[in-house]
């Protein structure tokens, strides 16, 4: 027989369990879509800002929308020409429409390596494809209080750059967050707050330092201030796990004095 005391104990335990699970789920799952042989998997993992980090090689394929929607945040960039630049840009825009947070980085705004398609149209990437040329190698905050700069000393950031970097335009309604100190737009956020343009190359093994990758992790993660759409109808795997756990707690509380929860983790790997 289920007594009130037993039920209350179960509810209390269940609440504590769900609170712990919710705290863990606050970290987003990251998908890096890279036309590059050296994506920053290790650096993003070491940042501690992501629950998981996966990579899709855009040199040999284009992720489908269902694949992308398994993740909360997406970092897309190129160092080679993507297999299908238009198709990739269309999928990224579809992901934004579904509530995901997308960051487009160098050389995704430089021809001929650009990620094109719908993500480069109005309302998406805040940094538009324009001319190319070198940048100063410095970063100057336009909005110093923005969360992307939290815990980062910009004067200590050292990053790779060359003459193939973009000199991008700023989209109407977008917020410029940083320049190179010499008039080049470097970091911006769209009006929807779900797309970031990052005129920085996030690839590994090119000499950029740890402070740089801390900044990149801040931009790509939800530290950027972007939030998923409240109307997003497609939960991620982590969200489904939390929903199922909540339902399990309710069922167990009604039939046993001991609360036990077994949680499985499934990870979708890009094909």
Show me where the domains of the chain are located.
Answer: 27-224
Residue 250 confidence (pLDDT) above 70: no
Range scoring the smallest mean pLDDT among 194-198, 219-223, 240-244, 263-267: 263-267
pLDDT of residue 26: 82
- What is the arithmetic mean of pLDDT over 229-238? 46
> What per-residue confidence (pLDDT) applies to 226?
47
Q: What is the pLDDT of residue 6?
A: 56
| Top CATH class, 27-224 | alpha beta
The answer, yes or no, to whether residue 263 has pLDDT greater than 90, is no
Which tokens sit at 6? 């037993």
Q: What is the pLDDT of residue 32?
A: 98
Residue predicted with more confidence, 119 or 226: 119
pLDDT at res. 233: 44
Please provide residue 188's backbone torsions phi and psi, each rounded to the nearest 5 degrees: -150, 160
Q: Mean pLDDT lowest for which of 112-116, 164-168, 220-224? A: 220-224
**pLDDT above 90 coverage of the chain, percent:** 72
Q: How far apart are CA 39 and CA 164, in angstroms?
A: 18
* pLDDT tens per residue, range 2-23: 556 554 555 555 554 444 445 4
Window from 5-9, 103-107, 160-164, 176-180 with minimum mean pLDDT: 5-9
């Amino acid at each position: 027989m289920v007594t009130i005391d037993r039920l209350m104990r179960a509810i209390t335990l269940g609440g504590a369990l769900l609170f712990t699970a919710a705290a863990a789920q606050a970290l987003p799952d990251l998908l890096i879509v890279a036309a590059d042989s050296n994506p920053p998997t290790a650096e993003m993992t070491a940042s501690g800002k992501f629950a998981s980090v996966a990579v899709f090689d855009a040199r040999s394929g284009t992720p489908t929308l269902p694949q992308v929607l398994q993740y909360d945040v997406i970092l897309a960039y190129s160092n080679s020409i993507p297999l299908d630049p238009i198709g990739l840009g269309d999928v990224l825009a579809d992901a934004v429409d579904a509530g995901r947070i997308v960051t487009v980085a160098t050389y995704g705004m430089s021809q001929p390596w650009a990620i094109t398609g719908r993500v480069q149209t109005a309302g998406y990437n805040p940094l538009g494809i324009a001319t190319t040329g070198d940048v100063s190698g410095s970063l100057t905050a336009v909005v110093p209080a923005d969360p992307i700069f939290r815990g980062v000393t910009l004067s200590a950031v050292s990053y790779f750059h060359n003459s193939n970097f973009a000199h991008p335009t700023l989209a109407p309604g977008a917020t410029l967050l940083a320049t190179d100190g010499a008039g080049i737009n470097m970091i911006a956020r769209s009006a929807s707050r779900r797309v970031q343009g990052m005129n920085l190359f996030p690839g590994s093994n090119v000499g950029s330092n740890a402070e740089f990758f801390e900044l990149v992790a801040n931009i790509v993660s939800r530290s950027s201030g972007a939030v998923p759409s409240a109307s997003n109808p497609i939960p991620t795997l982590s969200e489904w796990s939390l929903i199922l756990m909540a339902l399990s707690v309710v069922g167990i509380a009604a039939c046993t004095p001991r609360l036990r929860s077994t949680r499985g983790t499934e990870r979708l790997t890009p094909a």
